[in-house]
């Protein structure tokens, strides 16, 4: 499953093979996780096979533990990077308050002005902007 998207992909509206890679890799990582859980069990506890020596088992447990603990740091470091470094908050003289309101961090001032205009027009009514014109991941519409 991990090798197939390197050579074959489904042509879709994104134009690249990323959609195929995401769908195949999601399945592959689930299978890798199940296989690795069994591999750890087999190396440490399966008595029907030849057991490695105590030093080898301690080394295996150490490396496995190091990999798992290292993987547990990723979400913490990624969250910090996403919240502060990618947004430029770490160099701002007075960073804006952390909030779930993404309005002020909209990439384009024109987009922000359009959202504020629509908000003023509906005046409290529930309204949803469905979609813009254009392709995936572009600015939407003609320049």
How much is the pTM?
A: 0.47
Q: Which of 63-72, 75-84, 125-134 has the highest mean pLDDT?
A: 63-72
Residue 40: other Cβ atoms inside 10 A: 14
Which tens digits make up the pLDDT trace of 25-41? 888 888 988 998 888 88
If we measure between CA atoms, which residue out of 123, 118, 92 comes closest to residue 105? Answer: 92
How far apart CA 81 and CA 4 sit, in angstroms, is 32
Residue the block writes with tokens 């890799």: 25
Structure tokens at 34: 């199940």
Please give the pLDDT value at position 62.
92
């Amino acid at each position: 499953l991990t090798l197939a998207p390197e050579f074959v992909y489904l042509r879709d509206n994104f134009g690249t093979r990323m959609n195929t890679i995401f769908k195949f890799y999601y399945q592959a990582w689930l299978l890798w996780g199940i296989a690795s859980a069994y591999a750890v069990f087999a190396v440490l506890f399966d008595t029907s096979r030849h057991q490695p020596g105590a030093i080898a088992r301690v080394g295996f447990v150490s490396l496995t533990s190091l990999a798992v603990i290292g993987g547990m740091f990723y979400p913490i470091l990624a969250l910090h990077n996403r919240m502060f470094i990618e947004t430029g908050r770490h160099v701002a003289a007075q960073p804006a308050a952390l909030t779930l309101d993404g309005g002020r961090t909209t990439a384009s001032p024109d987009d922000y002005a359009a959202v504020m205009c629509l908000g003023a027009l509906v005046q409290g009514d529930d309204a949803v902007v469905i979609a813009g014109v254009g392709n995936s991941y572009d600015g939407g519409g003609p320049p």
